[in-house]
Structure 1
């Protein structure tokens, strides 16, 4: 039996907890060490885990490892997806690319920039919306900054339509959707409308960086 508390990266074995044969008891400090190493492999040696982000990362870890007690304490429903919000450059995309690696035994999600989906719609039309209304788990990156779609002179709020489709799949088949966004709740509602916004409340757990979080790309 493989040991889910051990992960090998670049020939180095990392421990992220202890495994008793049935369940993993995770160790947050060990997870941080692993995430820092994996981040450097993915994003380059400049990558680092910032102490100011530990609280956000801990909440995300509780979600991904399905720590029910801590999820309840933080009002997180492990059956829903994650909407990770925060200012430009705070590290949302990196964390969503990174966190899935601590649970390699779980079904992975594919991270897709929202603007690329709209460009696809502009090129091939409504089949793009159908393609994302499927059983694949997705994380839609930078939700809300994509342009309005336009195909054969018809405008379409592409991501709004996809979120409605994803909601139906979530209700009927428990298919999860994650997203990152720079926008707040009011801005999302203005962009997608009240109907989509109400579905988003049911689709997502909102985990938010402080609005004053530094831009780590500077």
Structure 2
């Protein structure tokens, strides 16, 4: 990316203009952002990828969050200092969108997408160091939160992601380090999975953006 033109992203030989530069501020154009997201999505996920009109409201919220449009975020009740918890039914496109949206702001610190179940598998092999590894200043997006198994190391059970969320909350409070996540679970199911204390911390850690429960499975 050319830092003198942060509103223009180049993919191969094609330039995508996401808005206009006004001094040192980008005035983003949502429809132009959607054009780029569709093009980048096809590069990442294959020729069949597309965004759906029914998801336009979700995409509008997510785009405004990532570009840090304070006025729109305030109107949408989104705190740009918190992370995103993107919830919705299986196959609605949560993971693809959070993999994709980081590309519209290449000048911002990126986050790593990590499946929650992989973190638990790591814990089962090497123990509590796995939890410590997520207590640093990296930005993470935990994918499929809530459907991972309980961790077990040397015969001791551990709610691995619950412990990690507590440490990520501490990082957020102390250093404003963001965490994102996707989940198929609703608020009640998350509380059953992680307990009231973790659920309370999650409210402070995340903005909840939710697909409609009737959202279709886009993988079919």
Range class of TM-score, shorter chain: over 0.9
Work out the CA distance in 1 between the residues paired with 2:211 and 2:169.
25
Aligned to 2:29: 27
Q: Deviation at 1:21?
A: 3.2
Q: Deviation at 1:163?
A: 0.1
Q: Deviation at 1:20?
A: 2.2
Aligned to 1:65: 67
In angstroms, what is the RMSD of aligned CA positions? 0.6
Aligned to 2:175: 173
Q: Secondary structure at 1:142's aligned position in 2?
A: strand
Aligned to 2:80: 78
Aligned to 1:182: 184
Aligned to 2:55: 53
Aligned to 1:98: 100
Aligned to 2:219: 217
Aligned to 1:126: 128
Work out the CA distance in 1 between the residues paired with 2:91 and 2:12.
27
Give TM-score, length-normalised by structure 1: 0.99
Q: Secondary structure at 2:145's aligned position in 1?
A: coil
* Structure 1: 4+ residue segments shifted above 4 A: none
Q: Aligned pair 1:140/2:168, yes or no?
A: no
Q: Deviation at 1:207?
A: 0.2
Aligned to 2:40: 38
CA shift digits 1:22-52 (9 cap, x unpaired): 1000000000000000000000001011111
Work out the CA distance in 2 between the residues paired with 1:175 and 1:199.
14
Aligned to 1:155: 157
Work out the CA distance in 1 between the residues paired with 2:106 and 2:31.
19
Work out the CA distance in 2 between the residues paired with 1:10 and 1:119.
37
Work out the CA distance in 2 between the residues paired with 1:148 and 1:62.
35
Aligned to 1:197: 199
Give TM-score, length-normalised by structure 2: 0.98
1:5 counterpart (4, 7, 11):
7
Work out the CA distance in 1 between the residues paired with 2:151 and 2:143.
16
CA shift digits 1:132-173 (9 cap, x unpaired): 111000000000000000000000000000000000000111
- Any stretches of 5+ residues in structure 1 without a counterpart? none
Q: Secondary structure at 1:198's aligned position in 2?
A: helix
Q: Deviation at 1:67?
A: 0.7
- Any stretches of 5+ residues in structure 2 without a counterpart? none
Work out the CA distance in 2 between the residues paired with 1:10 and 1:44.
16
Q: Secondary structure at 1:159's aligned position in 2?
A: helix
CA shift digits 1:43-99 (9 cap, x unpaired): 000101111111100000110011111111111000000000000000000000000
